Structure 1
């Protein structure tokens, strides 16, 4: 490999030799786009000077920088740098720019992680700038960024670009998709006089232009008080400026936007570019890289603008699902669609409204958004489970592109009629109204039926197990939905009691405290009860990993060993991100439960024991029922009856999820046997790899073959998606995130949805992952969202703040039952609140404040 290449010799396939920045500049040059001339010192030079560099251990970044700044530059490397510089002209000013092999990638931009030196003049100055670029591969920020993106330090090298400086009158950045709202083809341009460094570094408030299809949608003048200018002898200076008006004309803005569109067309994906306008009025591109923060678009399910709703977000699972987990939900949704008479020809394809993007599940709800019944039902349903999404929906109804389409309600009523008949809705509602005993017995029978369906004979062949899995997944959830008429009856009577008494629903939260028949509450109370009966010493003395090792080896003290085993026998099918059958259950990885037991044993306040809290909640609920009934006057008897039914059935809201997760866990166990068989055939490396196939692929694999490369590629995609920091709750097919269009709350107030009444002031504890998390009694839990795997933390929490969810989301329900104030749907709560910060949570007003 030569040590120096011209930009005209470089393309995307040379990334390993020239790094991401240079590869993109070469691509732009070969595409005929305007790029300043330049040469690239390849990674061969870096590897020469970095020979012997240890890429692990303590103080890695500092040691590596010291090595690269102090090691002598080999004479041939120095000669190559000098020759490359001389080939660009006599003492020509150049930009010396780092170009790492892990940079400007589709999933990680590394923007600003390595250094660039502008207006470098003279061969000695160029050599020193190159050396400093090499060292910048090992800045603390670059090391941390690689680690956060799972990139091995030893695999990374650095090339250096020597590029002729543009004598820029104006420069800046251009995104070919809106990086805030996500809207594709909406070009956003920031511009300021002088070099683009002022814009890129954030030193200036630039002019902003937004362009869509050649139309300038927005012009906003910045103050442009600072400009970066080149110095005659090399280097740059920041100078105060007083530029009024806009620094680009409308014609220049359109010309630049057209250039951006050409760049995107070349790459086939939205790009983040840097550009400069030279003194002759020519636009030149100095960089292009993918916009890595955009959420990938779901596959269109129909013509025109589509609206997608995230199942992951509403379920509190922000991470991706495994391929088998996605396949399971396709079958589940196919079974649900069949209830309405719209099932697909092959259930493995999933319901017509289901699509996948970013390894997450999305529902195409466009027909509902554009129909009259949908516009009535969607906000009401969302208010119960995802209040922030309800607000987004109401704004979408105002979008003329999503105007209501007149359709006959006959089809909707026909589908609902099929659904009502198949889940026996009228009969179950009537039973719930007349006899709680019979209604609850009916839900118990549904559970028994599901348990029978889940049994697989030990002698079943792998093919039979795959057939059984498909049958169970497509057919069980419709049975689970048969529980919902009873639940809906309870909440309908809650609303009726509100109307008859005149007490607003948001003032009746105490009625729902400590409701019976909630499997998640029963689980948490069972875990607490276990904590009161086991030998405490090892849980107070040993780390969780050691407790887990001893449990697996059967070496915990007798009561603890038996108690944990019994708990996992009843609840071991649960886990973190449990809606994905591809992830381990507590029965497989009991560390989380053992850690929760250790936390419980640290509690010494008997008044905060869950059993005491539950009993107190029951008393407060009875008092609340009496207060509401008293307000009803002559209707008191009816109100008391209605709220009695509400309390009898409200806890069942968690039962469908409980049964679904039990179903997924049973299928997971059965598929593991299939995975073991495929390992024996040489198709897979490990039994767990079966979860990175779908059911069709697993069936085909029974005939042999080698799916290890496919599994490895999917694991890489899965791990990359796990690092995604933001997942929209609603997404349009043009990439727009409707929630991003909303104005922020005034004065930075943290507001959300009232979820559990009461007010508490205490220190915040930000928790992003419940595994191994510790919450001191009284601390306020700040988290993205929750599923049942989080709820053991609730027992010691003084309050709860969630970024996601609505008044009927899982976290809100459990918070109410435990009597802790909760606010949900608080945007960016985990970023705007810091651990240890004293905050006040008002669960009735839906506010989070920082006391003065």
Structure 2
């Protein structure tokens, strides 16, 4: 055929003939189907067929005339020109030879599936899209569930016309492409019956930070348009790449989406598709099984590996997939290089931080890690877009690809619907502006004309605050910062920020607090799950609601906690992550859902039943074993053996031995598969008996807050004696020095995870001089303290050099 190519006959070298999308589909069919990936077959019209269509209908001059003196920032003018261009293109007849070839190719595809007229997807594929450096969400139209030769012909003309949507015209102008130099190929592929299955998008990096260590799979019921166009908040699964390659099952995060609607086949023959509300059952359950998630992630790695080899460079991918609900088979339906995070070069990272607290008005999924402030403009329909002013915050239910010319003038974007792979999210990411999607109430919570601050700098949840809040932006070049001999680690309180924090210059996580993770990710007292039948009926009802989908209440705790911990271990892999087992005080445990019946009333919880003393005690041991089970899942099922554990508030070596025995009972054994177990040094006895503790544990981490409190006999919460609380006290420093000396003689490592090195650079310098192995710092102090440590190490090296010279030679 002259104007038609089978997709299996084209590949990445044929972009000029069949456009980026069809070339990629052909590449998948030729290179990756033999490796076990399923890709629906089909055919494509060539770019020359489109040019022939323009010539045969004498359309080139009318198109040039309508595009002359284009004012792309004039929304109304752009829309008027676009509407007329699409009308003249869609109404022009196809050349008879092209029409005949299309009919013949469609009939052959139908016969290959045993049907007289099969259902197909008709997709636009421009010769300047899906390139490694040029792509944009939803530039051109696709048409789903197209049946019959006449419908295919009509869909091809409509696809040609979509080359002149406002977003496509504006995009080509921004990219510097000649408007008529870009041609369109049309791909026709057999539909995957995901209308009765599920579909979504895969990215082979973290879309918010650019972290390359994970695969992100999003999924919703029905055809994939609901995810791609941002009509729903989809389910999201995070899979760790290297552990997957090593044969583990590392789904380190599963987040249930609201999945508000589904796109399904319309009733009747050529009633293409329609959007319907999801059922309560669909909203309450995941749209994809774990085995399917892992299969898709493995396929994604195969696709990424292949494209990286073909391009000679690491090439993260953006992949669309579908599951056929009739056959149960998975398919990859499209693949393209990811063009936002993977293209970010630039010398620096920008770290945003709010300097003020404010009133949160609404919240949703954060896109990007920036902060912006401005005046809100609530847009409920496209007809209101001409009112939008540059620098305003665009607020809407969702966004449409046609809104792109306005979106790029926004300070920030806030939508009620959509997930991190929605149109609004993809566009915001490419434009480099903060966005919050899936708020549920943005158009009613925010008001046109009011000032707001949009913050995406606090993790995966973005907040919109009333008024303009002050914030800082620090720009840094990680590559230019020298690395000291002392290991510089991070204190990480929340898994949501892990992928971004992992990109800072660091040597791992010196302190991750178990209690912070299970307060946020579980929120239920462990014993309320192990002794559920003893609870009051109203508490049982609340726990039943929160643990819906988990018949085994214990599994809810282990599953949720392992996801939080696993996210941290995945983000920083292969660097060590030291997880401190829970160290709530009794009054804090009591505030967890269902916790009050299990906690004693203590006069001074700070010095009471906390830390190690709980783990082996018969009244909490079963709760501790749930924590142990979560750690085992991260290390053994997820395969993230960079996770180490730490015991807090361990008063005596005998108590340490009892904790290790309780861990062993739960199957977590020090030394097995390289497991390291540390002990917090936060009680004077930890330093005074350091040699005995060193026989039990692999190392120490100094908790300077508690150590100062207990050394000086100060209640650190007392305002009256607060001026006496100072980690730089000679007594505290003496204990730290003693601990370091004894531990090193025993061959054990010592770090510090308390607040002092973050607050006092001179205290950090003292510890470096004493030979501490690592400092674990808050993220906002890591760069400042790293510079101070480098200075101290240089000073010590110079002093050693001078001392060596003074005695007439170098030390051996």
Which TM-score tier does this pair reach, normalised by the shorter chain? 0.3 to 0.5
Structure number with the higher helix fraction is 1
Q: Tell me the TM-score normalised to structure 2 length.
A: 0.39
- Indicate the structure whose relative CO is greater, using CA pairs within 8 Å and at least 6 residues apart: 1
Structure having the higher strand fraction is 2
TM-score (norm 1): 0.38
